[in-house]
């Protein structure tokens, strides 16, 4: 029996949030089995898609606090998935690049993300999935014009600790990890 009040089921925003939380929680659990987190996936994907980046620019691109990114990069560096090199001309600039191990890890993480996606979208046929994707992509590309700030993309989670960083995306930000 569905215990959600019908008035909430009439709200598309409620359904998006509820479905997003379910997908995010399932993906976070899958990644945790591999000792990975959603931020790890986001950083690896950003580096694979855009190539090596300056650490501060990567933080801006992913809308993550620079000090939180350092913690994520520490994890990925220990795992041999990224390399950080300090600029010889400006010691403040650190360049981050994806390693071969990182590319392999990303491929596995993306397989896990697609498996979760298939689980969550199982009630939809291929045509419905494609239509949903097109519509969500349109919404993503044209955020609301209201006073509500729209964080950068992707925003997997807020910090490497349980507590969100004040003034930064919360665990309810799309694809963020709950309770980590």
Tell me, yes or no, whether 5 lies in a domain.
no
For residue range 2-11, list pLDDT tens digits in order: 799 999 999 9
Let me know how long the chain is: 180
Tell me, yes or no, whether 174 lies in a domain.
no
Q: Which tops the pLDDT comparison, 30 or 151?
A: 30
For residue range 113-154, list pLDDT tens digits in order: 999 999 999 999 999 999 999 999 999 999 887 655 555 544
Structure confidence at residue 92 as a pLDDT band (50, 70, 90): confident
Neighbouring CB atoms inside 10 A of 158's CB total 26
Tell me the pTM.
0.77
Tell me, yes or no, whether 91 lies in a domain.
yes
Q: How many domains does the chain have?
A: 1
CATH code at position 31: 1.10.10.10
Classify the C-alpha dihedral 24-110-73-64 as positive or negative: negative
Mean pLDDT of 91-96: 92
Residues 6 or more apart whose CB falls under 8 angstroms from that of 141 comprise none
Tell me, yes or no, whether 128 lies in a domain.
yes
Which two tokens mark 16? Answer: 């998006």
Using the CB atoms, write b or e for 18-32: b if 16+ within 10 Å: eebbebbebbbebbe
List the one residue out of 134, 170, 136, 137 whose CA is nearest residue 151.
170
Tell me, yes or no, whether 170 lies in a domain.
no
pLDDT of residue 144: 81
What is the percent of the chain where pLDDT is above 70?
Answer: 80
Determine the structural domain holding residue 20 and report its residue range.
10-141
Mean of per-residue pLDDT scores for the chain: 84
- Report the Cα 25 to chain-centroid distance in Å: 12
Q: Which tops the pLDDT comparison, 151 or 81?
A: 81
List the one residue out of 119, 137, 160 whose CA is nearest residue 23.
119
Instruction: Give the C-alpha separation, 173 to 22, whole Å.
Output: 13
Tell me, yes or no, whether 169 lies in a domain.
no
- Encode 6-27 in three state secondary structure: HHHHCCHHHHHHHHHHHHHHHH
Q: Computed over its alpha carbons, how large is the radius of gyration of the chain?
A: 18
Tell me, yes or no, whether 2 lies in a domain.
no
Tell me, yes or no, whether 147 lies in a domain.
no
Mean pLDDT of 71-80: 97
SS3 60: helix
User: Torsion angle of alpha carbons 37, 39, 45, 46, nearest 10°?
Assistant: -170
Instruction: Give the C-alpha separation, 160 to 164, whole Å.
Output: 9
């Amino acid at each position: 029996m569905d215990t959600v009040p019908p008035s909430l089921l009439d709200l598309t925003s409620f359904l998006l949030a509820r479905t997003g939380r379910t997908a995010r929680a399932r993906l976070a659990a899958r990644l945790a089995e591999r000792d990975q987190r959603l931020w790890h996936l986001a950083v690896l994907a950003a580096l694979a898609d855009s190539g090596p980046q300056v650490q501060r620019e990567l933080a801006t691109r992913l809308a993550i606090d620079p000090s939180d990114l350092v913690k994520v990069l520490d994890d990925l560096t220990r795992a041999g998935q990224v390399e950080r090199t300090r600029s010889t001309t400006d010691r403040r600039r650190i360049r981050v690049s994806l390693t071969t191990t990182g590319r392999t890890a990303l491929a596995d993480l993306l397989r896990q993300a697609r498996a979760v996606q298939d689980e969550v979208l199982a009630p939809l046929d291929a045509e419905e999935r494609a239509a949903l994707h097109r519509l969500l992509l349109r919404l993503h590309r044209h955020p609301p014009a209201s006073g509500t700030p729209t964080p950068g993309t992707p925003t997997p989670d807020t910090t490497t600790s349980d507590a969100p960083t004040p003034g930064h995306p919360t665990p309810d930000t799309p694809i963020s990890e709950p309770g980590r």
